[in-house]
């Protein structure tokens, strides 16, 4: 990856999956076996192999990363009357799952140097109703977990890691997603590895793992009778999806190396560009570089959207950061301390093509188009 030529006329997507013959072969074997629903050997193997890679005792495959996050909150007994702290800079699902269980999301600002949850906000936002925090490893860069975990221990609060964008990322040499009580991953079509749509909740606590697994399968008890011990959910991953995930897992190191190489190539090309901040990489972090973003620091309002339009004219996909949670119409009033950093980042942010199968020529083309577009804008 990263060394082939590129047709300058082709469209360059933001982030598409890398799927080859190995994936097709394993999925075909699944279809031929007729085990295509949520029961089948590939589901169990996918769970156990990913858990082993992460160094935890249990993985529970789910229909989405959102489902994994929902199960995590529900299984820990978080519900009405409780508050859960979430960062402003994240995909909306992080806040939505708090509402799913009837709890109240409290939105915290992020830091300029990591784009992730600011640990200093936690004591300012916590109340007697605070039961949990959901740090998000945004775009594959780890949140600063040590102070978050220390605060949670002092408060006796749960830590649910939203690692849906960060499979393969490390915090102080440890895999993210295993540092809190429950970690959640996503295998959506554009994630580092994909099952089409899917996710997984992981934990080192076997009892929690059993409860997560039960809840994901309608809380059906073992045995021939359809006996359900509590109200559960239909959040199971299918055997076909798990087959795709297993094939992708076989190639995860290859994909990670490609993402790292792309980040270096982009950084080399853009490091000297005036007025641009390139994606963070804290000294204690090893990002997975799921999506590569820049901040147009010294450009006037509206530059970001004009640049996105200019890139689109050259058939290059890009997009802003996620609209911060506190600016979403459904979440007005959820950020009592305001979130100026998250707002500032969003107003100036731009995500660049980040597919694992990008070529060096693709990246050169993106950077040249980006710099041309910025050259037409006046800096502040």
- Give 197-251 pLDDT, tens digit per residue: 999 999 999 999 999 999 999 998 888 888 899 999 999 999 999 999 999 999 9
| Residues 33 and 157 both lie in one domain | yes
Q: Which domain holds residue 313?
A: 252-375
| 216, 222 contact by CB (below 8 A) | no
Domain CATH number, residue 206 = 3.40.640.10
* 29 plus 151 within the same structural domain: yes
Q: Which of 221, 250, 279 is the last residue of a domain?
A: 250
pLDDT for 380 equals 62
pLDDT tens, 352-364? 999 999 999 999 9
- Predicted structure pTM score: 0.95
Q: Is 15 inside any structural domain?
A: no
Q: Are residues 127 and 230 in the same domain?
A: yes
Task: Identify whether residues 238 and 316 lie together within a single domain.
Answer: no
Q: Is 191 an annotated catalytic residue?
A: yes
Mark whether 191 and 240 lie in a shared domain: yes
Q: Could you say which residues of the chain have pLDDT below 70?
A: 1-8, 378-380
Please indicate, yes or no, whether residues 208 and 81 belong to a single structural domain of this protein: yes
Provide the strand spans (E) within 81-137.
83-87, 104-108, 130-133
* H helix intervals, the chain: 21-33, 41-54, 65-75, 93-100, 122-125, 145-155, 206-216, 239-250, 252-270, 303-313, 340-348, 360-375
Q: How many domains does the chain have?
A: 2
User: Residues 81, 227: one domain?
Assistant: yes
pLDDT of residue 158: 98
Query: Do 76 and 134 belong to one domain?
Result: yes
57 and 113 both lie in a single domain: yes
Decide if 3 is inside a domain. no
* Secondary structure letter of residue 236 according to DSSP: P
pLDDT of residue 245: 97
- Can you say whether residue 233 is alpha, beta or left, with left for phi > 0 and alpha for psi between -120 and 50 degrees? beta
Q: Which of 10, 172, 191, 259 is catalytic?
A: 191
Of 250, 271, 297, at which residue does a domain stop? 250
Within a domain: 2: no
223 and 330 fall within a common domain: no
Show which of 193, 217, 250 is a domain's final residue.
250
Strand partners, 278: 294
> What is the residue-wise DSSP string for 7-68?
-TTS-B-S------HHHHHHHHHHHHHT--SS-SHHHHHHHHHHHHHHT-SEEEEES-HHHH
Q: Say if residue 65 is in the same domain as residue 178.
A: yes
Same domain (yes/no): 278, 343: yes
């Amino acid at each position: 990856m990263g060394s082939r030529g590129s047709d300058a006329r082709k469209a360059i997507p933001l982030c598409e999956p890398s799927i080859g013959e190995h994936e097709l072969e394993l999925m075909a074997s699944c279809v031929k076996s007729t085990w295509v629903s949520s029961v089948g050997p590939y589901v169990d193997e996918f769970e156990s192999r990913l858990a082993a890679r992460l160094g935890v005792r249990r993985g529970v495959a789910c229909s989405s990363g959102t489902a994994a996050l929902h199960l995590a909150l529900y299984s820990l007994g978080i519900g009405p009357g409780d508050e859960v702290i979430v960062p402003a800079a994240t995909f909306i699902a992080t806040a939505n799952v708090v509402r799913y269980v009837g709890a109240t999301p409290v939105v915290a600002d992020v830091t300029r140097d990591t784009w992730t949850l600011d640990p200093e906000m936690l004591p300012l936002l916590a109340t007697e109703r605070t039961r949990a925090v959901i740090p998000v490893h945004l775009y594959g860069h780890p949140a600063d977990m040590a102070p978050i975990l220390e605060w949670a221990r002092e408060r006796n609060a749960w830590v649910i890691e939203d690692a849906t964008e960060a499979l393969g990322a490390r915090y102080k040499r440890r895999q993210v997603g295993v540092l809190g009580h429950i970690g959640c991953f996503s295998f959506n079509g554009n994630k580092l590895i994909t099952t089409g749509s899917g996710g997984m909740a992981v934990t080192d606590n076997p009892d929690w793992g059993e409860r997560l697994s039960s809840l994901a399968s309608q809380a059906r008890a073992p045995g021939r009778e359809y006996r359900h011990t509590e109200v559960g959910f239909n959040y199971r991953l299918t055997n076909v999806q798990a087959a795709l995930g297993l094939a992708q897992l076989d190639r995860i190191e290859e994909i990670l190396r490609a993402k790292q190489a792309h980040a270096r190539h982009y950084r080399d090309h853009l490091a000297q560009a005036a007025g641009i901040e390139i994606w963070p990489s804290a000294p204690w972090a090893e990002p997975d570089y799921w999506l590569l973003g820049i901040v147009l620091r010294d450009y006037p309002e509206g530059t970001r959207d004009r640049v996105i339009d200019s890139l689109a004219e050259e058939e290059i996909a890009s997009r802003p950061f996620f609209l911060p949670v506190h600016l979403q119409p459904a979440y007005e009033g959820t950020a009592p301390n305001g979130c100026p950093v998250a707002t500032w980042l969003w107003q100036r942010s731009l995500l660049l093509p980040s597919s694992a199968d990008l070529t060096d020529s693709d990246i050169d083309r993106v950077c040249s188009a980006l710099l041309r577009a910025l050259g037409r804008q006046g800096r502040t």
